[in-house]
Amino acid sequence: MTISVDKDKKLFTLQTKNSTYQMKVSRFGYLYHLYYGKKIEEPDLSYLLYNGPSNYAPYPHESSDKMGSLTLTSQEYPSVGTGDLGSVALDLENADGTHVVNLKYKNYQILDNKYSLEQMPSFYGQGVQTLRIVLVDEVSGIEVELLYGVFDKYDLLTRAVRVSNFGKQAVKLNRVQSLSLDLLHGNFDLIHFHGRWGSERNLEKLPISHTTTTLSSNYGVSSAKENPGFIVTTKNADEMSGSCYGFNLVYSGDFNATAEQGTLGQNRITMGLGDNQFSWKLEPGASFESPEAVMSFSSHGLTQLSHNFHDAIRNNLCRSKYEKVRRPVLINNWEATYFDFTGKKLLAIAKAAKKLDVDLFVLDDGWFGNRSNEDHALGDWFVNEKKLGLSLKELVQKVNNLGMDFGLWFEPEMVSEDSKLYRHHPDWVLNFPDRKPLLGRNQLVLDLSKESVRNYLFERISDILDSANVSYIKWDMNRPITDWYSKGLKDQGELQHRYVLGLYDLLGRLTRKYPDVLFEGCASGGARFDLGMLAYEPQIWTSDNTDPINRLNIQYGTSFFYPLSAMGSHVSVSPNHQNGRITPFATRSAVAMAGTFGYELDVTKMSEVEQQQAKDATDFYKKIQDMTINGDLYRLLSPYADNDLVAWQVVSKDKSQSLLTIVATDVVANPAFIYLKLRGLAEFSDYKVDGQIYSGQTLMNAGLKLDPLKGSYSSRQILIEKVS
């Protein structure tokens, strides 16, 4: 049983393969959190609760023994005005201006299917049970449904909250978090992933302390500044040991997460919608749904935690047919030409790429309107046949004739001031009244909360897709969203969230209409790399920074939550366009193979030697792609450790094959041998490595001994194959 309820003790228990989660209704009807961690069979962990004196903390009126202060006891869903003085999950303003919602247990239900959300994506799954617990505030008539989806085999729980107003007066929701988790005792570290353009998802580790740490984005997108995924670990946890809790949000807009220790040393984590300018009017009879949060537990360190997320994302989030099939190796013309191309030039690149066994040619920015540089024409989604020298249909046909598929870039959410669209519909952008809008890359943001805007985009994109055989879309988005004002919207505090709902509506309509098109996400690289986008787009361009050495950090940080099948990763030219670094082709391709592989350079300018290297690389990738897309990733040597080497291993699910990649970030004279203990192999099977046979046990315990790497940024890829 994944969900069990002890009605007498009022205990709710969620069990997954290796974890247990328990809650209990208190004597006054509050829902307490008891435990989340390593699996315990048939637990009753009520004894753990704080039952000491309140010591001047506020306690409920009905408590004649002066005990039961909510701020000292662990809560399942803490709310405002109840005497819980930590970060609360729910804050609202009643019609009389008060901030109070005193939630008590009402009833529960177990569903034999996974709940879904009406307007936002969420994880799905056959045979996944849902626990629904209803809490109510008798005075205002506000009801809160806590929803839990139990993904047994990934040790993963999903959570969402639905707030309904059964009272007589409207209330204003100011903060609705998707989850709150109180860990009763222990000292923990917080690992989060911050960054900026060209340097996304850098790992930082902080102790959870008595100050409140807030992780958030107010960029309108999940952002490069902070990824919504974060991890809480016991002290000294590492890849293979220690307790780790992972948290993430199926959402692509502003978010908020907090971690803090309470006065008695208990730890509280909250996560959900950004509440920066959020306010949502809930009329009598109306409901509000939170985005879905996901959490997973591993008692065996970070690698297992990553595997839980990777498997769940690959199997139960995105409904695109591409999620499970071999992804095309692509060539994108952006770094090859930027805006400076003609149809002839593009075809020359496609032809040269075909010789490298590339499957898909992607035409990036600049094919529409008068888009000669980044200052013009966003929004004018009409093919510029003059620039191309032929129609899109003809261009696609010619690429198809080469035996390649064709893909196209869009940046649907944006508009240039210099565009026909903006001239016709100046009121379609986000812009404060009577003020000049802020610019980002010289562009404005379309107001996706408006149905008319979404309909325009749906029609324009559909027209293009119907006019030619386009089998891939790169969906770009190149500026933070500011100027949050939507003409005609009554409550502007709802706008940020309505924008994201509008985006999901548009993506949902397009992906349903064009199930054979592969969508790849992008936001100036990886500024919107999140589970919400991954629900529609199986892969996302990880970063605009294609330097393989910088990419070691970026892809390392990204890999804690997101599988390699989600990470767009291309070979680009050397010296690199972003940082000028010179690296060998083999290292550029080895790093790009830790993702959905492709090229981003002018292949017509490659030397014959490099062309041969590229062909070999493509063919090798195709051989190992199934392992990369579906296998298990092991981070062996971190780019943050001071050892001049970064290494990782991908192992096929059946453990018959593994690819080890090692990259030198620096080299020295008189180097030591490289010793690496491999992971994830079958202990009692034999493997062939570099012509030698070793048992899995040997490779994982005694380790592999390799010659030192020589030469700037050199690398090695070693295929390890099971022989018996």
* Catalytic residue set: 530, 610
Q: Which is nearer to ligand DGJ, 115 or 409 (CB)?
A: 409
Burial 374-385 (b: 16+ CB within 10 A, else e): bebbbbbbebbe
Handedness of CA 360, 361, 367, 372 (dihedral sign): positive
**What's the CA gap between 267 and 24, in Å, rounded?**
18
Q: How far is the CB of 337 from ligand DGJ (least distance, A)?
A: 11
- Secondary structure class of 359 (helix, strand, coil): coil
Tokens 């870039």 belong to which residue? 409
Q: How far is the CB of 409 from ligand DGJ (least distance, A)?
A: 6
Q: How far is the CB of 390 from ligand DGJ (least distance, A)?
A: 22
The answer to whether residues 655 and 680 touch, using CB atoms and an 8 Å cutoff, is: yes
CA-based nearest residue to 107, from 143, 79, 161:
143
Tokens read off for 539: 């892969």
Q: How far is the CB of 362 from ligand DGJ (least distance, A)?
A: 9
Pairing of strands 567-572, 539-541: parallel
**What's the CA gap between 510 and 602, in Å, rounded?**
31
Residue least distant from ligand DGJ (Cβ): 365
Single-letter code of the amino acid located at 415: V
Label residue 409 exposed, middle or buried (CB < 10 Å: 0-12, 13-18, 19+).
buried
Q: How far is the CB of 31 from ligand DGJ (least distance, A)?
A: 44
Q: How far is the CB of 259 from ligand DGJ (least distance, A)?
A: 31
H-helix or E-strand spanning residue 258: strand 255-261
Q: Give one word for 265, left, alpha or beta, with left for phi > 0 and alpha for psi -120 to 50.
A: left
Chain residues binding ligand DGJ by CB under 6 A are: 334, 364-365, 409, 476, 478, 522, 524-525, 541, 544
Q: Which is nearer to ligand DGJ, 108 or 219 (CB)?
A: 219
Q: How far is the CB of 473 from ligand DGJ (least distance, A)?
A: 12
The answer to whether residues 319 and 256 touch, using CB atoms and an 8 Å cutoff, is: no
Q: Which is nearer to ligand DGJ, 154 or 367 (CB)?
A: 367
Q: Which is nearer to ligand DGJ, 541 or 561 (CB)?
A: 541
**What's the CA gap between 702 and 96, in Å, rounded?**
70
Q: Which is nearer to ligand DGJ, 522 or 573 (CB)?
A: 522
Q: Which is nearer to ligand DGJ, 124 or 536 (CB)?
A: 536
Q: Which is nearer to ligand DGJ, 468 or 540 (CB)?
A: 540
Tokens 């013309």 belong to which residue? 333
Radius of gyration (C-alpha) of the chain in whole angstroms? 27
**What's the CA gap between 672 and 670, in Å, rounded?**
7
